[in-house]
């Protein structure tokens, strides 16, 4: 079963900043992950996040595209089988995680999945 993919408007803007090939790669990976976006400890693809430099990201999951140096942070709405992409960005210290924390607060998204 594929989970419904939803992108925050800012995540779509993040993707527009990527090169064409990077954007295609991110789209392919998100599509693949949406078939099982659960945390790895539940048999899925996502790596759970916790506290990153004072940002409580509990309930958020990440995917890393190591060769491209890109991180994708998302959350799940299990009751509605939705995968919400919160931020897509180049790995630059903890900027992606700080952005994810701000967006979660802005949209009032549940951090507990």
Read off the pLDDT of each residue in 8-21 and give the average, rounded to a whole number.
Answer: 96
- Comparison of pLDDT for 113 and 97, the residue scoring more: 97
Task: Return the pLDDT at 1.
Answer: 82
Residue 56 host element (H or E) = strand 55-56
Count of all residues that appear for the chain in the document: 113
Is the pTM above the cut of 0.85?
A: yes
**What are 63's strand-pairing partners?**
72
Helix, strand, coil: what percent of the chain each, to 5? Answer: 35, 30, 35
Total number of domains in the chain: 1
Kindly state whether residue 52 falls inside one of the protein's structural domains.
Answer: yes
The domain spanning residue 10 has which CATH number? 3.30.2310.20
Read off the pLDDT of each residue in 50-68 and give the average, rounded to a whole number.
Answer: 90
Assigned token pair, 29: 């990976």
Average pLDDT taken over every residue of the chain: 91
Can you tell me the distance from the alpha carbon of 47 to that of 40, in angstroms, rounded to the nearest whole number? 6
DSSP state, 2? Answer: P
Kindly state whether residue 112 falls inside one of the protein's structural domains.
Answer: no
Phi, psi of 87 (to 5 degrees): -155, 145
List the domain range (segments joined by +) for residue 70: 4-107
Can you tell me the distance from the alpha carbon of 85 to that of 7, in angstroms, rounded to the nearest whole number? 5
Task: Return the pLDDT at 112.
Answer: 55
Please report which confidence band the pLDDT of residue 54 belongs to, taking 50, 70 and 90 as the band edges: confident
């Amino acid at each position: 079963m594929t989970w419904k993919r939803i992108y925050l408007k800012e995540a779509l803007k993040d993707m527009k900043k990527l090169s064409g090939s990077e954007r295609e790669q991110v789209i392919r990976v998100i599509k693949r992950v949406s078939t099982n976006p659960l945390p790895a400890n539940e048999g899925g693809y996502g790596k759970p996040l916790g506290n990153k430099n004072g940002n409580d990201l509990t309930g958020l999951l990440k995917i890393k595209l190591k060769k491209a140096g890109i991180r994708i942070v998302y959350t799940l709405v299990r009751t509605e089988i939705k995968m919400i992409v919160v931020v897509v960005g180049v790995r630059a210290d903890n900027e992606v995680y700080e952005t994810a924390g701000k967006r979660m607060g802005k949209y009032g998204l549940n951090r507990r999945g």
